[in-house]
Amino acid sequence: MKQHDAMYIDGSWRPAAGSGTIDVVNPADGQVIAAVPAGSAQDVDAAVRAARAALPAWAATSPAERAGLLTALRDQLAARAEEIAETVTAELGSPLAFSTAVHAGVPVAVCGSYAELARSYAFEEKIGNSTVLHEPVGVVGAITPWNYPLHQVVAKVAPALAAGCTVVLKPAEDTPLVAQLFAECVDAAGIPAGVFNLVTGLGPVAGQALAEHEGVDLVSFTGSTAVGRKIGAAAGAAVKRVALELGGKSANVILPSADLAKAVGVGVANVMANSGQTCSAWTRMLVHEDRYAEAVELAVAAVAKYVPGERVGPLVNAKQRDRVRGYIEQGVAQGAKVVAGGPEAPRETGYYVKPTVFADVTPEMTIAQEEIFGPVLSILPYRDEDDAARIANGTVYGLAGAVWAGEAEEAVAFARRLDTGQVDINGGRFNPLAPFGGYKQSGVGRELGPHGLTEYLQTKSLQF
């Protein structure tokens, strides 16, 4: 596996200002597989300066030219999909089949969608006696998480480039190798020097320096609500644009008329994917009290297929593993019933957690309120639809969710009652063109598709 002991700044790989490094660990066995530079405020400053210098020429390129370069980038990502999947599996721990389909496959589709949008988007529109111009917001500081390490990079960088912005990326310290690979693809695609820059480093050092840099016009951050609050506060003080994609505690509401076996099976799969390290995972399954016992039995049978080390990978690091086990212990202490899994280690090596299902969960329990970010499902009973809506909406989050019913119309009517940014109806497929983002403390702004592009644009009105 190739790695760089350098930053990608202004179109070339250059040494970091300091000598510090960050070890990259394979969570399946705890072995160090690489080391990358721990970037400093000095490195961030160099990257922001490069992005500022490149901005006027890049912003002046035609949308068609930007589309061509994004197409070239998509082709580079597609050509190196196998290497991308292997890299993500090595540093994140996800099973190779999942890495291939999702971690390598989805970014190709998203990058391609922004190549198309750059061509088709109306960057000018007429409103009465005005012409409204949609112009790039400027230099973007992108801070991405480890759970979908390439998808989150592409979901920020591709729309920013399509809009005519330049970018400085600070990827998560747990998964920097795929970000280096992405920088190689940017370089090979022929995107001009300074338009995209990569600084690896720790969040409280490089991430904070990027978020607070006066040369950054917009900070786009995906991660925890706690860190998002700090970034939002700093951006507010500087009157700077911010896009925040934060936590979730999404409800999977199964109405009485639904195909229960299908709804439970898909619901369990949703939570177990990526070892539960998905901000939009449906971690609360809501089932009518009359069918509750049957749903619990179905969930126990479904989760048995998820064997640690086979269909479900480890968590990203030891701290995350310990955190998730702590939540499982808390659930037991508060009176929830473990019907599958539990806090014990399933394997001698690696940061694995047993896929766990809780029954007898009440809405106020910690495991039903806080984001666990692991393979842990809580099943809650409800009395009627009003009760289900109250429970579903009864957290500080509002990122995603699901509704199942015999007829789509019934599910849609209930979905309208949910305070959440996305709802899948009867197992609706992920749509890379649909806006993704949250209500309440799940964030500010939207990613993906045309709504994701508008985050990186500002408007200017010309009156005639």
- Is 173 assigned a catalytic role? no
Query: Considering 91, 173, 212, 245, which one is annotated as catalytic?
Result: 245
Q: What is the pLDDT of residues 351-397, one digit of tens each?
A: 999 999 999 999 999 999 999 999 999 999 999 999 999 999 999 99
Overall average pLDDT of the 1-11 stretch: 90
DSSP 361: -
Q: Which helix (H) or strand (E) holds 13?
A: strand 12-14
Nearest to 314, CA basis, from 154, 146, 201: 146
Query: Considering 111, 165, 185, 279, which one is annotated as catalytic?
Result: 279
Overall average pLDDT of the 184-207 stretch: 98
Q: What is the pLDDT of residues 305-314, one digit of tens each?
A: 999 999 999 9
Q: Which amino acid is at 152?
A: Q
Nearest to 152, CA basis, from 166, 142, 138: 142
Overall average pLDDT of the 333-355 stretch: 97
Q: Is the pLDDT of residue 3 over 90?
A: no
Same domain, 322 and 228: no
Q: What is the pLDDT of residues 213-247, one digit of tens each?
A: 999 999 999 999 999 999 999 999 999 999 999 99
- Is 83 assigned a catalytic role? no
The confidence score (pLDDT) of residue 395 equals 98
The confidence score (pLDDT) of residue 443 equals 96
Is residue 56 included in any domain, yes or no? Answer: yes
Q: Which amino acid is at 15?
A: P
Enclosing domain of residue 273 = 251-431
How far is the C-alpha of 195 from the C-alpha of 135, rounded, in Å?
Answer: 16
Is residue 1 included in any domain, yes or no? Answer: no
CA distances, 144 to each of 16, 68, 116, 172, 207 (Å)? 20, 25, 24, 6, 9
Q: Which amino acid is at 253?
A: V
The confidence score (pLDDT) of residue 206 equals 97
Q: Output the domain CATH number for residue 189.
A: 3.40.605.10
Q: What is the pLDDT of residues 18-77, one digit of tens each?
A: 999 999 999 999 999 999 999 999 999 999 999 999 999 999 999 999 999 999 999 999
Q: Which amino acid is at 177?
A: L
- Domain tally, the chain: 2
Per the prediction, the chain carries an average pLDDT of 97
Is residue 191 included in any domain, yes or no? Answer: yes
Same domain, 423 and 448: no
Q: How confident is the model at residue 187 (pLDDT cuts 50, 70, 90)?
A: very high
**192 touches 148 (CB < 8 A):** no
Helix (H), strand (E) counts: the chain: 16, 20
- Which phi and psi (to 5°) does residue 21 adopt? -135, 165
How far is the C-alpha of 297 from the C-alpha of 174, rounded, in Å?
Answer: 37
Q: Is the pLDDT of residue 2 over 90?
A: no
Is residue 369 included in any domain, yes or no? Answer: yes
**70 touches 111 (CB < 8 A):** yes
Is residue 401 included in any domain, yes or no? Answer: yes
Overall average pLDDT of the 127-153 stretch: 98
The confidence score (pLDDT) of residue 431 equals 96
Taking phi over 0 as left and psi of -120 to 50 as alpha, with beta for the rest, 135 belongs to beta
Q: How confident is the model at residue 1 (pLDDT cuts 50, 70, 90)?
A: low
Overall average pLDDT of the 241-263 stretch: 98
Same domain, 330 and 416: yes
Same domain, 453 and 408: no
